Every structure is written in structure tokens, then in C-alpha cells.
Amino acid sequence: MQDLKFYLITDTHFFKNSLGARGDKYDEFMRFEQKCFAETESINRSVFDWLKQADEADILLIAGDLSFNGEKESHLGFIKLLKELKEGGKKIFVVTADHDFKDDPFAFDETGRLKPEGTKREELFDLYYDYGFGDAIAVDKKHLSYVAQLGEGVRLLALNNDYDGREFDEEQLEWIEEQAEKAREDNQIMFAMNHYPLLPGQPLFSVVSSAVQKHSGEVTTMLADAGVHLVFTGHMHNQSINLKVTPSGNKFYDVCTGAIIADPAIIRHITIKEDNTVDIKSIPTPDFEWDTNGRDCKKYLSDMFDNMIVNMLSDMKDNPQRVMAKFGMKEKKALVLGIKLVGKLLDKLTIGGVCRLMFIGCGDKELKKTKLKDYAVELVRMVFEGNQYFKEGTPKGDVFLKFLKRINFVLKKINIKTIDGDRADLFDILKNTAGNYDIDDYNATLSLI
């Protein structure tokens, strides 16, 4: 076989701006949003214009959540971009996900919240027939999944599991095993694309059920042992590459890519080689036409992420009821007062102040002056950006680890289960979420066997 090269993006969340993304209710909604809304049409246009000129590969994969919330006009607008790219010579393979057929699509204008026409799940096969299904060598229409021959010796297993509760049912699992066996018999390298991560993108996500595919432990073992050692995912808008080794000794990699309309906004360039190695490179999403106050795309989106956390911390102090409403918490006077108190502390404390309260050394003089809320915002953002640098041996990482060690007696008493049903080691989870001690999340060479 020859090297197979392709581009991959995910979570395009295309929204047709003319549907409405403005007004007071829109501004209120965006206070706690990580991803763009009004800007998504412009960002997608800039990405597709870039892809038209990109000549290192003629294949594009898109790993789900194509529209913002399933608006019919958004799908039609996005398909127009796909058609233009295909007419320019690119071969395109997509999977859909739950944001592509929401029951309650919405938009905003000066009058408030609007309800545009939505899309039913059963419409997605025909809408996206020309972008995967039509070129497939095997189709599971019920589950909106298919197999495509991408090149000599390489097959794509494109999976969708939104049919019934975001999990693979027995019928689909049998189909997957059958396709993996056919690929092995035909001496093909097969890799998968699935919107939902099959391995937790960050250790902390291992205790968040919605962050990982249901029954992922059994599914990843089945795939790896059947010869499928690699999956490309999205959903969590984070950048990560993670490895699992099954009890039989087979490797399974989950390459999760950040949404193009939210920080860190990445395009992947992938090369699959005959020797079962995979080269992965990350390309920043290009700048787009919008009033960004002179900021490039990266700065604009990272500022937006930071504002989401800052707004939440500010509201804890000034408007705790809004924070509680966001998370569906019942309003209780004691809880309101508690959240407000925590908000005030976060607003006033510095890292030096926290170190004094916890009786731990801080070391770095400049770090001592850093506001706790600024430190927290950066820490949270790094969880999604990947290659987290709050690691042991750095001033920020050492302070975090000292704090964890100080409260470890409390962490040990908290009985939280991971998605696999094991008791979570919170110290280890938090340490490895704050700092990346494993594979580079942006550029890496993976050995599949």
C-alpha cells in the first residue's frame, strides 16, 4: 500500500447566522458558552476555504456534530460547503451525532428565543448520502454507520451510535465485528471514526459519564483485539491522544480533536503508513472574517473560553442564582450564601495567600502574586487545549501538587467510580489532568502494533 493521507476536523457546529444570533437573550446564553455561535458560519467558511487550497491530502474526515443543534437551514448551509469542497476534488466522509437532530433547535433575535425548523434523525442518511454512505462498501443504515475504502489497503469504519441512548446495541456490535473480520481477512488496515470518545480525553473525564462512549471498556477491547487499533473522536472539544493496552496486549489509541469553532480549534493532518505507524500533525484553524478587535483566531477563541470561566466565577460572587440555574440546582438559601462566599474568596485570594492558608511553600515570587481565579482559568483551559503544562518540576505544577498532597486525606475518602466501575484515584486523576505526562496531544507518531 501507499501512504494514506487525510485531513480531519470535528464539531463544526455550523449555524446559519441568518436564523438569528443576537439580542439580550443571546448574550445571556453566551455567558457560559465554550463554543462560538454567531461566528460559526464564518469560521467554517474560513476552514473550508483553507481546505480547498490544502494539497497534502485529498480526503477529509469530519467526526460529528456538523450543525449547531440540528437546524434544517444549518444543515443545508453546511452541505453547500461540503459540495463546494467535493467539486474542488476532495473526497469527504462524515458521521453525524446528537447535535444534528436535536428536538429543540433554537436561535435568538431582539424579541428573544426563536425555534427554527429542526431535522429528524431519519433525514440524515439522505442529507449526507454523498459524503460517506454513497461511496461505502458496507452500510448499516439503521445505525447511520458505514465502511469506506479510503485507499489501497486502508478502510474507514465510520460509526454512529445515536440510535438508542448513545450506545452500541448488540446488532451494531455484531456488524462492527463482522466488518473488522472482513478487513483482517482482506489484509486491510482499518481505523474508526466515532463522535464520542472511546477513551477519556483527560483523566478527569473518566468520572464524567457523558464525556465518554457508553460501555467503552468492552468496545475498545473488542475493537483492538479485532485489529482496529485507532479511532478519531470529538464531542468534548478537547485535544488529546490516549492509549489503552488490552489484556491480550493489543493497543488502542483514541485521537480526540478540538472543535474548529472553540478553543483550541484544530485541523488534523494524518498519514497512515504501511508499517502500521500513524503520523499526526495539528494545524491551527485559520483566521476568519469577524470583528475580533485585532485578535487572531487562536486568541479570539481562547479569550472566549476564559470569559466563560471568568463569568462563572464572577456570578458565583454577584449572582449565584444564575450559576445554580445553569447547572439545574435547586435554589436554597444556605447554598446561595455558600456559593457567594466561595466566589468572594476566589476573587480576592492570590496563590501566595492559598499557600499560606494551606501551609505549603510557593517558591516562585511572581506566582505568589497571581490571582487564584486567573490561575484556575488557565488550569481549566489547559485541560481542553491539551499538552497541559501544570506538571511536576514547574512552578505552577509544583504548587498544584503540593495542594493535592495536602488534601489527599480528603480525596481518599471520596468514593467516586470511573466509567469502568473502578474506584477513582482522585489524586492521580487530578495530577494527570493538570499535567500531560504521556503522548504529545498535537503532534505524534503512533505505532499501532
Q: Band of the pLDDT at 165, cuts 50, 70, 90?
A: confident
Average pLDDT over residues 351-362: 94
Task: Evaluate if residue 310 carries a pLDDT over 90.
Answer: yes
Which secondary structure element, helix H or strand E, spans residue 148, and what is its range? strand 145-151
Q: Rounded to whole angstroms, how far apart are CA atoms 388 and 204?
A: 13
Q: Rounded to whole angstroms, how far apart are CA atoms 179 and 84?
A: 31
pTM here? 0.95
Is 328 in a helix, a strand, or coil?
coil
pLDDT at 387: 98
Task: Evaluate if residue 215 carries a pLDDT over 90.
Answer: no
What are the structural domains of the chain? 4-289 (3.60.21.10), 297-434 (no CATH)
Task: Evaluate if residue 220 carries a pLDDT over 80.
Answer: yes
Q: What angle do CA 131, 132, 137 make, to 5 degrees?
A: 150
Residue type for 439, please? I
Task: Evaluate if residue 101 carries a pLDDT over 80.
Answer: yes
Name which residue leads in pLDDT, 440 or 332.
Answer: 440
Task: Evaluate if residue 392 carries a pLDDT over 90.
Answer: yes
pLDDT at 340: 92
Residue type for 104, please? D
Is 280 in a helix, a strand, or coil?
strand
Q: What angle do CA 373, 375, 377 make, to 5 degrees?
A: 70
